[in-house]
Amino acid sequence: MSIIKLVLLIGYIFQLCITKNIERIEFINKLEIPCLIEQRQTYEITFSSLENIPDYVQISFSSVNNIQQIVSFSSKNDQCLNGKKFKSNKSNFYLEKSQLSLNKNFICVECPYPYKDCELKINLLEGKLGPKLEEEKEKLNPNIIPQPKHNLKTFEKTENDDDIILKISSDIKVDLYTLNSGYTERIQIPSSKKTYYQIDSKENGKYKIISGKSVTVRADGMVYPKNETWYWYNGWGTTSPPTGDQKPSRIEISYTLGKSVISATVGSNTYQVTINVLDYASEYVEAKIDAYIKANVTTKTTNLEKLKAITAYPASFPYSAKYSGYMSMIIFEGGDCWASSSTIQHLCEKVGIKSYIRYAANDGGAGSGHRNVIAYIDNKYYICEAGYGYNRPNRPYNVYEEPLGYSTRSKQNGIVIYQYDGYDQEIFVPSSINNKTVIGMENTVFIHGPAKTATKIILPDTITFIGNSVFNSLPNITNVIIPKNVQTIGLYVFAGSDKIEKIIVDKENNALCSKDDILYSKNKTIIINYPPGKVKDSYEGLSSLERFENYSFYYVKHVKTVIIPKRVNYIGEGAFGDSSVKEVYFAGDPPILGEFIFYNLNLSVYYPIASSKKWEKYVDQKFSSKAIRWYTWEPPESTESDESNEPPESTESNESNKSNVPNTFNYIIIIPCLIIVILIIAVIVFICIRKVKKSKINSNDYDSNFKSLLPMNMH
């Protein structure tokens, strides 16, 4: 600090000597700053208060080649002093206090770029300029010109020191631009944008990346964006170079975006360089989009007009199956329905319209992967469609209302809902839409869009059927009520909804019922669905059961043991697939067993000794399980009540190569109980013995004490 002050003091005295005849009243300081090579650099001067801002700032610039360049003078964040920015073609000019900021205590001066050995001199002057300097002063006009900010060096005036202290600030900030090789055939990075950066050309510099992964730095201080080469083979890619006869269909170079910080030490000076790696393609596309919005959307444009203008934009390009994102659609001027939807959604976001890309494969005539956009404006839902496959510009497009967020199809006696695209989290499905009765819920109604996170879904009494997967994969639903007129329910309706603990059926329903929150046919001969989130480790089938419906326990998460009653004659496809079941007990002859009934399970299966011959053809099969072990057991005598069957001790199987495993269920319960009882008795006996001994001791002490109180002749 003392050395810097000494240097500044010498400069101060020197300046006083050479400016004595120029009638300056007071001179604060002179700062001479060498500019770095190939670098536009901004220097910031900070004052302790507004009162300390000088009357004049003299800025002079010189180089060994006597090249006069524009010197910019501005405040932070590209804001101009008093809302203006000044520039000069002269190498020496002055700014008055009236041209300085009235509400800021700092000023910035920018060093020219990219000339070597240039020198920037800043004089801070108090008082009134003399006649000679008045002649030199230039009247400046405001100019708005973009200038990068690096803030390498900050000059700060301390409270206790009138000198201005040179202070090295945290970093240089540089933007580097990249372009994925896939876009280079259409666009190029302009020469005005940096693609690499030289930190310093001096020898013996040391450079280290201290954060970030977006750049590489060479030993000489040259910084490049970090890239990665991908080799593509008909739709799949790898970063591993080809080997042998491999011939990639496409090679692509991509870059890691984001900020990295480099610590640079050159001589005794250590500072940080922050490199922000940007994607030029993104900047290019955003500029195109902004221009389109500016030309087609005004403050007077209604929300619906905005939506139509936005949807028209991707339709202005030909259809192409090669491109599936908004960036590639705009750069290559073409794309498929995914690209059109991505473009619409992105433009909606830019103008503040709530929207998302909609699963549209269920729409009439749509392909299996079709997408469009659902937008919410003025309390209404609209579908934006621009994915029609015409290989020409200005393709057809459409914007139409989706009432209440429900997509429907007409039937003879009403309408069916095939998709809900709304944002409601408590969903009350209407009994009618546009005066048409809702009579059913088709497959996968709620599993697309925001409804996936719904907490409640209430169905109307008007529906008569519920299709496949209607309540599939809804993680926040805890119970479902089946209305009174529902006659049929599809497959895996509740699969993946791990919190559903109760399936409740309206008592007036004549086709279905629920018992213990489990869904059955009305006469309880068919179990249709076990709630996937019901917390119970065993299911003991009703003696009335005759059938386990397809996927009835699919993805059930808590049941470990299932006991299948004697009357059951059919177990449907995938009945226990991907569930938590570990043990299955059959009480009777083998039923018809569907495919994949034990899919992906590792379990033990028990069958009656009395039916061993009938089970012979099954015991070597795996039924798509991971592993299955077959044992015999002795079922209890069957009853006609709805009480469950208890698996008794198993008996030895006559089958060869099968484990003869007894049923240890009773032993597991009885033996620990006996041990506990014995321990309790032992503890009680021990306590009693202690009490008796203690009682005797106390009694003896009492007798002794009592006798000591008696007269001698009474002992």
Residues 114 and 155 placed together within one structural domain of the fold? yes
pLDDT higher than 50, residue 32: no
Asked whether residue 381 is domain-assigned, the answer is yes
Q: Is 196:176 a contact under the CB 8 Å cutoff? A: yes
Asked whether residue 411 is domain-assigned, the answer is no
- Identify the domain boundary among 134, 168, 202: 168
Distance CA 227, CA 216 (A): 9
Q: Give pLDDT tens digits for 54-101.
A: 555 555 555 444 433 434 444 333 333 433 444 444 455 555 555 554
Residue whose C-alpha is closest to residue 356's, from 330, 336, 381, 387: 381
Residue 224 Cα to chain centre, angstroms: 29
Asked whether residue 436 is domain-assigned, the answer is no
Domain interval for residue 577: 536-663
Q: Which two tokens stand for residue 641?
A: 């009540």
Residues 163 and 304 placed together within one structural domain of the fold? no
Residue type, position 165, single letter: I
Asked whether residue 487 is domain-assigned, the answer is no
Q: Is 304:378 a contact under the CB 8 Å cutoff? A: yes
Tally of CB atoms within 10 A around 445: 27
Residues 160 and 13 placed together within one structural domain of the fold? yes
Q: Which two tokens stand for residue 613?
A: 């011959």
Q: In sequence order, what are the residues at sequence separation of 6 or more whose Cβ sits closer than 8 angstroms to the Cβ of residue 73?
A: 57, 59, 81, 85, 86, 87, 88, 95, 107, 108, 109, 110
Q: Is 450:473 a contact under the CB 8 Å cutoff? A: no
- Identify the domain boundary among 355, 379, 401: 401
Q: Which DSSP helix (H) or strand (E) runs through 133?
A: helix 131-136
Query: Does 114 sit behind a cis peptide bond, omega within 30 degrees of 0 on the bond before it?
Result: yes
Asked whether residue 491 is domain-assigned, the answer is no
Q: Which DSSP helix (H) or strand (E) runs through 704?
A: helix 665-709
Residues 647 and 687 placed together within one structural domain of the fold? no
- Identify the domain boundary among 365, 385, 401: 401
Residues 127 and 239 placed together within one structural domain of the fold? no
> Which pLDDT score, from 0 to 100, does residue 210 have?
92
Q: For the chain, give the percent of residues with pLDDT over 70.
A: 67
CATH of the domain at 260: 2.60.40
pLDDT higher than 80, residue 256: yes
Distance CA 420, CA 422 (A): 6
Going by pLDDT thresholds of 50, 70 and 90, the confidence category of residue 205 is confident
Asked whether residue 656 is domain-assigned, the answer is yes
Asked whether residue 556 is domain-assigned, the answer is yes
Residues 370 and 277 placed together within one structural domain of the fold? no
Residues 192 and 162 placed together within one structural domain of the fold? no
Number of H helices and E strands in the chain, helices first, is: 8, 45
Give mean pLDDT, residues 608-619: 91
> Which pLDDT score, from 0 to 100, does residue 201 have?
60
pLDDT higher than 50, residue 452: yes
Residues 67 and 104 placed together within one structural domain of the fold? yes
Give mean pLDDT, residues 315-344: 94
Buried b (16+ CB within 10 A) or exposed e, 269-284: eebbbbbbbbbbbeeb
Strand order in the sheet with 371-377: 354-359, 371-377, 380-385, 398-401
Residues 252 and 363 placed together within one structural domain of the fold? no
Residues 303 and 369 placed together within one structural domain of the fold? yes
The one-character DSSP state at 364 is T
Residues 6 and 132 placed together within one structural domain of the fold? yes
Q: What is the CA radius of gyration of the chain?
A: 42
Pairing of strands 206-211, 371-377: unpaired
Distance CA 99, CA 655 (A): 103
Q: Give pLDDT tens digits for 181-201.
A: 889 889 999 999 999 999 876
Q: Give pLDDT tens digits for 344-396.
A: 999 999 999 999 999 999 998 888 899 999 999 999 999 999 988 887 888 99
> Which pLDDT score, from 0 to 100, does residue 267 have?
75
Distance CA 481, CA 506 (A): 7
pLDDT higher than 90, residue 467: yes
Going by pLDDT thresholds of 50, 70 and 90, the confidence category of residue 2 is low
pLDDT higher than 70, residue 658: no
Number of domains into which the chain is organized: 5
Q: Is 398:385 a contact under the CB 8 Å cutoff? A: yes
Q: In sequence order, what are the residues at sequence separation of 6 or more whose Cβ sits closer than 8 angstroms to the Cβ of residue 582?
A: 560, 561, 601, 602, 603, 604
The one-character DSSP state at 241 is P
- Across all residues in the chain, what is the average pLDDT? 76
Q: How far apart are the first and last CA of the chain?
A: 104
Q: Is 132:18 a contact under the CB 8 Å cutoff? A: no
Asked whether residue 104 is domain-assigned, the answer is yes
Residues 158 and 192 placed together within one structural domain of the fold? no
Q: What are phi and psi of 489, to 5 degrees?
A: -135, 135
